[in-house]
Amino acid sequence: MASAKAYPFVPKSTAHLVAGQFWAIPLNDGKWACGRVLAGSAGGGPGSRTMFVAGLMDWVGDRPPTEESIGVSRVLEVGRVHLRTIAGTGSQILGHLPLSPDDAALAEGPVGRFWGPSYIVRAAERLAELGSDNYRQIDEERAQAGLFPQIRALRSPLRRGMLKPLKDRIKVVQFSEPLSDRELKRVARFMESYPDVRLRMYGHGNRSDLEWLRYFPGHQNFMVDAHDLESLDGLRHLPETLSQLAIGQTKQRLSLLVLERFPELKTLYLEGHTKDIEVLSQLRRLEDLTLRSITLPDLSVLLPLERLWSLDLKLGGTTNLDLLPHIGSLKYLELWMIRGFDDLSPVSGLTNLRFLFLQALRRVTALPDLSDCTRLRRIHLETMKGLSDLSPLAHAPALEQLLLVDMVHLRQEHLEPLRNHPSLQSIGIGLGSVKRNQAAQEMLGLPDVEPPLADLYD
């Protein structure tokens, strides 16, 4: 819980941010838009004191927003932002209004989309120019491209509105408190029309087993994120053709052998589970794998995964990545806060790579040679405090987009190697101040990064 703070104020850290707070976004025509705090931090780990989950409200007014003026407005877009998003426009937190249940649910699921400090201003200008309906149409197109899916939250007692037909942009149906068997049967009948929409159970104090999945024998996409879970055996009720599965961290150490049941699995997320992790070698149709808070001696268990094209390694202490070039045909690689990790050289061998995401690898002091990564189009560097030499980026022959997030140790001269890069089209710069960001942007002569509508992995 954030500590009390008198309004208005300029936040110096997320310690004083509370879901429901709002700030004013000044527009070029003298009108105002509204930003909203959806979660006081963007999760634990690096950046938790400076990053939070924000939303752009469906609201434009002649005066700065107030509790009364935004009362019936809803959130249009959601992203992870830095505190500079507020201070960079000369704004401050103006007040607080409790979020609607639908808006609150937007921050309950993972929010992977990052907004640069100026993005919400540009989005607000588009909203003012296009109007709500046209903006939403563009929003829908981006959502259908998978850029920022929305969530339907369920709770007991179930109400009719919770089971109204899903729009295409809603990709997750979730509940955090126990539902009765009768309610679960209703949800199961409803979800029969949406077998590929993720069904998610999360939170503390929910059911300790997954036997309730017997009501969902045909569902293709499931996530459990319940710390008190005592068994994964109930997963057996899901079909052998299960396509997507995510298993969050649990208090007890649970066996992964039940995964043998799902040879068709394409997407898998595991957090903190290592017991019988050798079963991964049997999931030969796996395309997208995330391992969080998991330490492996090396990556040999992944060698049989010939179809793997997306790999996320987050937290944990897997430091030997020598086998990376021999795993599948990786197009996306994310490495995040891996304890003791210091060697990126295996990335040089990923000749099919399209998107490289590196965050909070504090012992990494050098980027790899990227000259053979001829398909690498997008790079995201965040809180990489040991990096100051960006010259290897100049040798990435197909690089189009670069994001530098929370790279406050860098100065304009560190970006000099990027001048006149033949393929670089846009860059998002976060060097610790709006003035420094703008100076570097002007020096490079490149626009800010927009969320990509095209598929980076083609």
Q: Which domains does the chain have, with CATH numbers?
A: 14-142 (no CATH), 149-286 (3.80.10)
Structure tokens at 212: 């309730």
pLDDT average, residue stretch 21-27: 93
Cis? peptide before 98, omega within 30° of 0: no
Percentage of the chain exceeding pLDDT 90 = 62
Q: 3-state SS string over 3-44?
A: CCCCCCECCCCHHHCCCCEEEEEECCCCCEEEEEEEECCCCC
Task: Count the neighbouring beta carbons within 10 Å of the beta carbon of residue 314.
Answer: 19
Task: Count the neighbouring beta carbons within 10 Å of the beta carbon of residue 453.
Answer: 10
Query: What's the confidence (pLDDT) of residue 385?
Result: 92
Per-residue pLDDT of 137-158, as tens digits, reads 555 544 444 444 578 888 899 9
The residue to which tokens 């992995």 are assigned: 457
One-letter amino acid at 309 equals W
> Taking the alpha carbons of 232, 237, 240, 246 in that order, is the dihedral positive or negative?
negative
Quick check: 262 pLDDT over 60? yes
Query: What's the confidence (pLDDT) of residue 135?
Result: 57
Alpha helix positions (H), 31-177: 84-87, 101-105, 119-130, 132-144
pLDDT average, residue stretch 153-182: 89
Quick check: 410 pLDDT over 70? yes
Quick check: 457 pLDDT over 50? no
At residue 375, what are phi and psi to the nearest 5 degrees? Answer: -115, 5
One-letter amino acid at 35 equals G
User: Which residues on neighbouring strands pair with residue 267, listed in sequence order?
Assistant: 244, 288
Percentage of the chain exceeding pLDDT 70 = 89
At residue 68, what are phi and psi to the nearest 5 degrees? Answer: -70, -45
Quick check: 275 pLDDT over 90? yes
Q: Is the Cβ–Cβ distance between 18 and 86 less than 8 Å?
A: no
Average pLDDT of every residue of the chain: 88
Rounded Cα–Cα distance for residues 71 and 79 (Å): 21
Query: What's the confidence (pLDDT) of residue 206?
Result: 65
Q: Report helix, strand or coil for 336.
A: strand
User: Quick one: pLDDT band at residue 438, thresholds 50, 70, 90?
Assistant: confident
The residue to which tokens 């004191």 are assigned: 49
Q: Interior CA angle at 31 toward 30 and 33, to 5°?
A: 135
Q: Is the Cβ–Cβ distance between 49 and 37 less than 8 Å?
A: no
Rounded Cα–Cα distance for residues 162 and 102 (Å): 10
User: Quick one: pLDDT band at residue 400, thresholds 50, 70, 90?
Assistant: very high
Per-residue pLDDT of 37-88, as tens digits, reads 998 865 554 456 788 999 999 999 999 999 999 988 888 888 888 888 888 7
The pTM assigned to this predicted structure is: 0.76
Return the percent helix, strand and coil in the chain, to nearest 5.
Answer: 25, 20, 55
User: Quick one: pLDDT band at residue 455, thresholds 50, 70, 90?
Assistant: very low
Using alpha carbons, list the distances in angstroms from residue 432 to 50, 88, 409: 11, 10, 8
Rounded Cα–Cα distance for residues 36 and 377 (Å): 32
Spatial CA neighbour of 50 closest among 413, 455, 432? 432
Per-residue pLDDT of 445-454, as tens digits, reads 999 886 543 4
pLDDT average, residue stretch 287-308: 97
The residue to which tokens 């409200």 are assigned: 57
